[in-house]
Structure 1
C-alpha cells in the first residue's frame, strides 16, 4: 500500500489504526520451518453506494512473509488490494449495517457518525490515507 497526502475517494483510500496489527504465524504446507503471517489491522474508509457517501469500519488483512515489525511495515508490504477492506459496520447517515450486538454497534457508530459528519477528515487515532493504487 502507498500512503498519500490527500484524500481522493476515487483512489479507494483507507485510514488505519497502526497500533492494532494482530495475527499469527502458520507453517506452510511444505514445512521446512517456513511460515506465513496471517495479519489484520483495523481500518476505516469512505465509499459511495448508489450515489450516497458511506463510512465503513473493519479490517484490512493479508498473508505475508516475512512477519512485519509493525503496522506501517504491514501496510507497506500489503500489495494485493483485490478484496479491499473486510467491512464490519457501515453508516450512511440514516441506517447502520453491521454487528448485531448492541455494544459493538455503539462502538462502530461512535466512530462512523462523526467520521461521516466530518467527511473527508481522518478520525482521531487513525493514520491515512493508504491506497492500493499506483501513484499518479
Structure 2
C-alpha cells in the first residue's frame, strides 16, 4: 500500500490504526512459514451517490512476519478484496451483523467520521491506498 496525505475517494483510501496489527504464523507442507495479518481500518465510500463511513479490517498473507503495523501495510500489495467491512454508517442507518455493544462502538467512530468528511479520524494514520501514486 502507499501512504498519501491527500484524500481522493476515487483512490479508495483507508485510514489505519497502526497499533492494532495481529499476526498468526502458519506452516506450509514443506515446513516454511507464512503469516496471516490483520489490522483495523476505517474508510469512506460512495454507495448510490451517498457518502458512507465504514469500519473493519484489512488482511493479508505475507511470507515474512511483519514487525509493525506500518511494515504490514507497506508490504500489503493485493488490494483486490478491499477491506472487510464490519459496520457502515450513512448518516441515517447502520449496517452490520454484530452485537449491539459492537454497533455502539462502531457508531462512536463512524458518526463523527462521516460528520467530518473527508477528515482523517483521530487515532488513525492515512490515507493508505493500493493505487500507485502518480508522479508529477
Instruction: Specify if TM > 0.5.
Output: yes
1:16 and 2:16 equivalent?
Answer: yes
Unaligned stretches of 5+ residues in structure 1: none
Distance 1:48 1:95 in 2: 15
Partner of 2:55: 57
**Correspondences of 1:20-99 after superposition (within 5 Å):** 20-31=20-31, 34-99=32-97
Question: How far does the alpha carbon of each residue in 1:78-135 deviate from its partner, in whole angstroms, 9 at most, with x for none?
Answer: 0000000000000000110013311100000000000000000111100000000011
Deviation at 1:36, TM superposition (A): 0.8
Unaligned stretches of 5+ residues in structure 2: none
TM-score by length of 2: 0.97
The root-mean-square deviation of aligned C-alpha atoms, in Å, is 0.7
Matched pairs, number: 134
TM-score by length of 1: 0.97
Distance 2:29 2:15 in 1: 34
Partner of 2:7: 7
